[in-house]
A and B are shown apart, each in its own frame.
Chain A
């Protein structure tokens, strides 16, 4: 299937991507503005499903990496993603015909739209996470043996790099170090994948999913109906907590925004507290010391009235929020998937329990 993505669709995608961002992935706002500007200059972007790709057609992911706390402050120079793309093109043996998003959650939903508009290339309706995750190897393509190499990076000052590593975990180590030296954000191009590889390894339809979430919220607001119910209808989210933010701890360390948020229960949850730990993204939610949701399932805080998703860098005292939990893609629920993105990888000594078994 093919259809066009214009200014309005980008608006909806950015809003929906913030829900899928699970608190991280970078605020889609800056990416939205850049994508919309590119569409104004170059025209709308064609969104195509992976089944439209020939098995040997080549695609590449474009993204920003770094600390979301820095992304909202440090403005890209403008040409970095084109540079990263051109560099990766020179290393991938054949012509790259498609751009895709490695991470549907957060800013990386819209960064590839911008490049696709600039280059006049179609965007694939898929991603490699179905959410946001903080590290380079946390991509479903990685589970299917697709390598992030060749991996290119560029910053707004004119520094650039090409990385080739023995596995995708090493890529995270080196790329993170370079991103920190680039000023804690960088544009990257990586995970070149053929049509056949995309069919097997990607999470399909996630650009459309982000758009549908955003559209549902927008329409609910216009119609003065409940935007949170609209999110639930499009994502299957469970409302797991209702509370007020009473404490936020946040540190930007080694290129990540690490921290925790404490919520005091309201209404049905009064008398209990929830603690949410994050590393760019929300990782784990506990009520009164007991884990109730964990990665790889999605944990997203939304403002109680508007349904506006709240990123970890926006968290502050006094916000009244609903905590939503959404099931992740089945690729992440395999033994191999949980090794890469399960709670133990992030240092939490707890078993993963799918959210629907606790709340359905």
Chain B
């Protein structure tokens, strides 16, 4: 168990930004809110999965919606308490700990804020080891944990509890439409599960991993070393491409930020182009010419991350714009996403890319996302 500090939040926000693979919403606003809570005297304990009791009652806390809206729409601040209260009322007993749904992006910080405000410990792990745009893309649900009860709340004080859903795809449909009606962002708390289930199906240690990535970035910046090398030393994976953004297509449709970008190579990659398709998160990267996608070099569920070349600052899909100098990394995902069953839900075909075949990025045992 460790207690979250101001510097930890700084580091987690940087690490989560990288693990967000372009999506998950910018952790920036969450970071500011969380640091404000710490200054006010709130504290949060982070406990490892091992420290979680088997019979403890837990639930994930996170935001749902379009990141493009998430950076504009201000929260009420009480959403996590409202959501937890609704779940606790439904199950008839208090919850013992909070889980992180998605370590990538703003949902890395949301459970920490909830933990600070409610005094409940936050479990060091998540259900993705990255960011993903849909509810069913969760190690818990892929492993068969029931996805309900689930609660959505908005900043106005509306609370919708889904008591039973036929499956996590139904949950995605119901919650997505509700989220759009709530104004394209909503706080989600789900499902109520036992400690033993969380231990068996979470991606372990990812809050610590995000913190370590962030600390490595900060240390590299301070010592003027390569940020990219510092990140890869912790996450594993490879540097895919270095270049300049020359085209971005983006639209917000049905609650998602969809689009594609083109990056023109610089340095060793001069004369080549990298194309990336995204839906909130970066999905597929192709190497090719200016207008041709010749070869898939990385794809979901492995992580494709854009860092600003000079600072190592992660770039989210809503921040993409012409002229940014970027370095693109590919990082191996959790093994839980590399099974045949999981790839149906988080692989390229799940996003409509039926002709893209997933080749797992090589990973080193005990390193990076477990």
Contacts and interface: CB of A to CB of B under 8 A. Distances in A.
Contacts of A178: 160, 174, 177-178
A83 to B, nearest CB: 9
B160, B161, B170 interface centre (most CB from chain A within 10 Å): B160
Given A173-B181, A177-B177, A180-B177, A159 B161 contact: no
B166 A164 contact: no
Given A165-B158, A170-B158, A174-B158, A159 B164 contact: yes
Tell me if B's interface is mostly helix, strand, loop or mixed. Answer: mixed
A170 B186 CA distance: 15
Given A157-B166, A181-B173, A162 B161 contact: yes
A18 B174 CA distance: 32
Chain B interface residue number, banded:
20 to 34
A160 B162 contact: yes
Nearest to B160: A163
Given A166-B156, A170-B156, A161 B177 contact: no
A163 B161 contact: yes
B86 interface: yes
B64 to A, nearest CB: 14
Contact of A161 (B158, B160, B173, B181): B160
B158 A159 contact: no
A181 B171 CA distance: 10
A162 B90 contact: yes
Nearest to B171: A159
A161 B161 contact: yes
A159 B166 CA distance: 6
Contact of A166 (B89, B158, B165, B178): B158
Contacts of B174: 159, 161, 178, 181
Contacts of B181: 173-174, 177
Contacts of B177: 177-178, 180-181
B71 interface: no
A178 B176 CA distance: 10
Contacts of B159: 163-165
Contacts of A173: 181
Chain A: number of interface residues, binned into ranges: 10 to 19
Given A170-B156, A170-B158, A174-B158, A87 B163 contact: yes
Nearest to B164: A160
B157 interface: yes
Contacts of B160: 161-164, 174, 178
Contacts of B166: 157-159
A174 B179 CA distance: 9
A42 B159 CA distance: 36
A169 to B, nearest CB: 11
Contacts of A160: 162-164
A160 B177 CA distance: 15
Interface string A84-99: 0001000100000000
Given A157-B166, A159-B166, A174 B161 contact: no
Contacts, number: 56
A157 B167 CA distance: 11
B155 to A, nearest CB: 11
Nearest to A163: B160
Nearest to B174: A181
Contacts of A164: 86, 158-161
A174 B164 contact: no
Interface string B246-258: 0000000000000
Interface string A156-197: 011111111110001001100110110000000000000000
Contacts of B157: 166
A87 B89 CA distance: 12
Nearest to B179: A177
Nearest to A180: B177
B163 A162 contact: yes
Nearest to B150: A161
Contacts of A91: 89
Interface in B213-247: none
Interface in A266-307: none
A18 to B, nearest CB: 32
Contacts of A181: 170, 173-174, 177
Given A164-B158, A165-B158, A166-B156, A158 B164 contact: yes
Contacts of B165: 159
Contact of A174 (B89, B173, B178): B178
Nearest to A171: B158
Contacts of B164: 158-160
B32 to A, nearest CB: 27
Interface string B18-61: 00000000000000000000000000000000000000000000
Contacts of B170: 159, 181
Contact of A177 (B156, B161, B163, B178): B178
Nearest to B162: A161
Interface in A142-163: 157-163
B294 to A, nearest CB: 41
Contacts of A177: 177-178, 181
A153 to B, nearest CB: 9
Contacts of B86: 164
24 contacts: A91-B89, A159-B166, A159-B170, A159-B174, A161-B160, A161-B161, A161-B162, A161-B163, A162-B90, A162-B160, A162-B163, A164-B86, A164-B158, A164-B161, A165-B159, A166-B156, A166-B158, A170-B156, A170-B158, A173-B181, A177-B181, A178-B174, A180-B177, A181-B173
Given A159-B170, A166-B157, A181-B177, 13 more contacts: A158-B164, A159-B165, A160-B163, A161-B163, A162-B90, A162-B161, A163-B158, A163-B159, A164-B86, A164-B159, A165-B159, A180-B177, A181-B170
Interface of B: 86, 89-90, 156-166, 170, 173-174, 177-178, 181
The 4 closest A-B pairs by CB, nearest first: A162-B161, A160-B163, A177-B177, A164-B159
Interface of A: 87, 91, 157-166, 170, 173-174, 177-178, 180-181
